[in-house]
Chain A
Amino acid sequence: DVKVTQSSRYLVKRTGEKVFLECVQDMDHENMFWYRQDPGLGLRLIYFSYDVKMKEKGDIPEGYSVSREKKERFSLILESASTNQTSMYLCASSLAAGGPKQYFGPGTRLTVT
C-alpha cells in the first residue's frame, strides 16, 4: 500500500514566519504534488515535481516555493506566511508510468495568525 505522510497534521504560525511543510512517500514515485484545499474552491495545484531537483509551477505558486532534494521527499515552503495562506495543504504522489492516478497524504491544516 502506498504511503504518503506529511510532517504535521496541524500547524499554527504567525504572519511573516517561514514555514516548512514536509511530505514523504515510500513507493518510489517519480511525481509529487502540493495542493491547497479550500471550501468552494476545491484542490488547487501549487507546485509539482516529476524528478529530483525538478520543480514546476502549478496554478497558484505565488508566495510558495518547493524543494526536492531526494526522490521520496517534497517540501513546500512559505517564505513569509500570510493570513491568506491559512488552508489545508495536501501532498500527493504518482508513478510516472501510472498516469494521473494520485495518492494523497492526510493533509496539514495550517493556520496563520
Chain B
Amino acid sequence: AQRVTQPEKLLSVFKGAPVELKCNYSYSGSPELFWYVQYSRQRLQLLLRHISRESIKGFTADLNKGETSFHLKKPFAQEEDSAMYYCALSGGDGNKLVFGAGTILRVKS
C-alpha cells in the first residue's frame, strides 16, 4: 500500500530561521515524490518534484530511499512562506497521487 506521513500538523518558526517539513512514505517500488503548496485563498499548486532536483522559492527536497523520506527544507524562512504544504507520492499508477495530511507552516516576524 502507498502511504505518505507528515508528522507535524503545524510548524511555527521565526523569520530567518531554517525550516524543515518532514515527509515519510511507504511504497515498495520506485516512487515519484512531490511537494504541493496552498497559500491563503489560493489554489493548491506544485512546488517541486524530486526528479527535477530544482530549488523553488529557496526550497529544496532530497529523496532518501534508505530512510523513505522526502523532507522539504529552506535555510531562511520568510513570512510569505506561510502556507499549507502537502507531500505527495506517485507509485505504480503513474497518474495518481497519494497525499499526506499536510503541514501548516507559520512564519512569525
Contact = CB atoms under 8 A, between A and B. Distances in A.
Interface string B86-105: 10101000111111111000
A90 interface: yes
A104 B101 CA distance: 17
A33 B94 CA distance: 14
Given A100-B90, A104-B45, A41 B101 contact: yes
A105 B45 CA distance: 9
A27 interface: no
A48 B34 CA distance: 19
Interface residues of B, number: 22
A104 B94 contact: no
A31 B101 contact: no
Interface string A48-60: 1010000000000
B46 A101 contact: yes
A45 to B, nearest CB: 7
Contact of A99 (B9, B43, B95): B95
Nearest to A98: B95
Contact of A94 (B4, B43, B95, B98): B95
Given A35-B99, A43-B99, A90-B44, 10 more contacts: A4-B43, A31-B95, A42-B4, A100-B34, A100-B94, A100-B97, A101-B49, A102-B46, A102-B97, A104-B45
